[in-house]
Structure 1
Amino acid sequence: MRLTVVLRGLAILFTLVTTWLFASTYFHQVSTKSVNLRSWLGSVDTQTKASKVRNKCGNRQSCPENTFSFKIVSGAANVVGPSLCLEDTVFMSAIKNNVDRGLNIALVNGTNGHVIKMGSFDMYSGDIKDLVTFLQDIKQGSLVLIASYDDPGTKLNDKAREMLTELGSNYAGKLGFRDSWVFLGGKGLKGKSPFEQYLKNNKDTNKYDGWPEMLEIEGCVPRKIG
């Protein structure tokens, strides 16, 4: 009888000790996992916040002081219109419904970044007189943003090409039927602009049926040109 009582007592004691050890180990592991999980969530949250940082005009990099952030995108064939953005303000785009086939141009104050004037000039059917007048009125120190759409060069004459070249373009003299072109220059710019891309319409290399691929440039342009 006494032996039975002793055995029962040992069994109960063994059960209590085993339960305590299990509970201690389990809750220690849960605590450790919880801490690790919180740390991981904190890390993810930090990364998420960092990934949400958006540069002006959606550019890959931010720009230093005394410069403007810009992005210029040409049209895609005759389907998707171009866009012109400076300091996170899109001046011209298909969404704004203020672009057209030909040359799409925005003149911007080189000091404060405010738009001065905008225009779209059809270089297929001919807006050449209007384009020349527009270019003649550009004031010293103005930034000039240009994006092609569909056909930027068929009706361009020597006068217009010369004026675009004086704004810093390397390729204005070459623009032809359905070429792709994006450009940022300025009135009073000394030398050639580094902000320009050009693709010739070539049936052997065109990305689209009858048109070269869409072009895009982005970067930081000094507030004072010259």
Structure 2
Amino acid sequence: PPRAAPAPAPLRLLLSAISSVHSAGVIRLVLLFVTLLGMWFIMKTYFHHTWKAVSLRSWLGERLPRHKCGNQKSCPQNYFAFKIISGAANVVGPSICFEDLVLMSSVKNNIGRGLNIALVNGELGNITKLQTFLQGIKRGTLVLTASYDDAATKMNDKVRAYFTELGSSHVGELGFRDNWVFLGAKGLMNKSPFEKHIKNDQETNKYEGWPELLEMEGCAPRKMD
């Protein structure tokens, strides 16, 4: 039989190009399928429990429940929610929140440099005669304390002893421009678990001349023994 005449050169080039594009497209589809399959396997294997935790409410932007003082969790009955934040350098003042009530803050304009102390019986403020004030605290009173700028320079041994009686473990080592947050109680028989202290150290300070601020939140029992 007679041979078919060869296709003109331009037509051959066009057919070759179409064949190459088709092959590349198939390869890309195969690679895409393999990639999607691998991603599905990884998510199914490693994120199975995580995906279970993502609910439709989260996707719809429903707000999570708010806890007292903006804490991460709520407190059980017979416990008080609190949050104490120390000052940041000598620029940002401290804040003390108790049972969702902000007792002290820069906004309330009742904080000052040094020690800022709030009592749950309503007495609060920046204490001038600190020694007399601490001595007069009634038994069973919760004491919330936050440092700002420098709280240690004017603190004598008697003041430190009073805070030790309130349950502090770190007041004895509190130094110049250290940051300190503390919750204790008058008549406490044991050391308070609610205390944080960070030293003023030029090598580790977050701010020039001051350490980073401290933040402490938790649930304090209504009766601390």
TM-score by length of 2: 0.73
Residue 157 (structure 1) aligns with:
156
Aligned-partner Cα distance in 2 for 1:169–1:85: 19
The CA RMSD over aligned residues, in Å, is: 1.5
Runs of 4+ in 1 over 6 A off after TM superposition: none
Query: Paired residue for 1:98?
Result: 110
Separation (CA, whole Å) in 2 of partners of 1:47 and 1:178: 46
Could you tell me how far 1:46 is from its partner in structure 2? 8.2
2:126 aligned partner, one-letter code: S
SS state at 2:144 partner? strand
Instruction: State the one-letter code of the partner of 1:44.
Output: R
Counterpart CA distance in 2 for 1:48 and 1:212 is: 37
Q: Which amino acid aligns with 2:169?
A: N
Give structure 1 stretches of 5+ with no counterpart. 1-41, 109-114, 122-126
- Residue in structure 2 matched with residue 182 of structure 1 by the alignment: 181
CA contact (8 A) 2:144 2:183 kept: yes
Tell me the equivalent position of 2:4: none
Supply the distance in 2 between the matched residues of 1:65 and 1:75 (Cα, whole angstroms). Answer: 30
Contact 2:104 2:125 in 1 (8 A): no
Offset from partner CA, 1:58-104 (integer Å, 9 cap, x none): 00011000000000000000000000001000000001000000000
1:75 to 2:97 alignment:
no
Unpaired segments of 5 or more residues in structure 2?
A: 1-54
Show CA shifts across 1:127-176 (max 9, x none).
4xx00011011001100000000000001100000001100001111112
Give the aligned residue type for 1:224: K
Please give the residue correspondences for 1:92-171 in structure 2 after superposition, counting only pairs within 5 Å. 92-108=104-120, 115-121=121-127, 127=128, 130-171=129-170
Query: The residue matched to 1:98 in structure 2 has which SS?
Result: coil
- Cα distance 1:170–1:47, how it changes in 2: closer, same or farther (>3 A)? farther
How many Å separate the matches in 1 of 2:203 and 2:139?
41
CA distance in 1, matches of 2:158, 2:176: 18
Deviation readout 1:13-41 (Å, 9 max, x if unpaired): xxxxxxxxxxxxxxxxxxxxxxxxxxxxx
How many equivalent residue pairs?
171
Q: How does 1:16-31 map to 2 (within 5 A)?
A: none
- Percentage of pairs with the same residue: 61
The separation in 1 between residues aligned to 2:218 and 2:59, in whole angstroms, is: 27
Whole-Å Cα distance in 1 between the matches of residues 195 and 60 of structure 2? 34
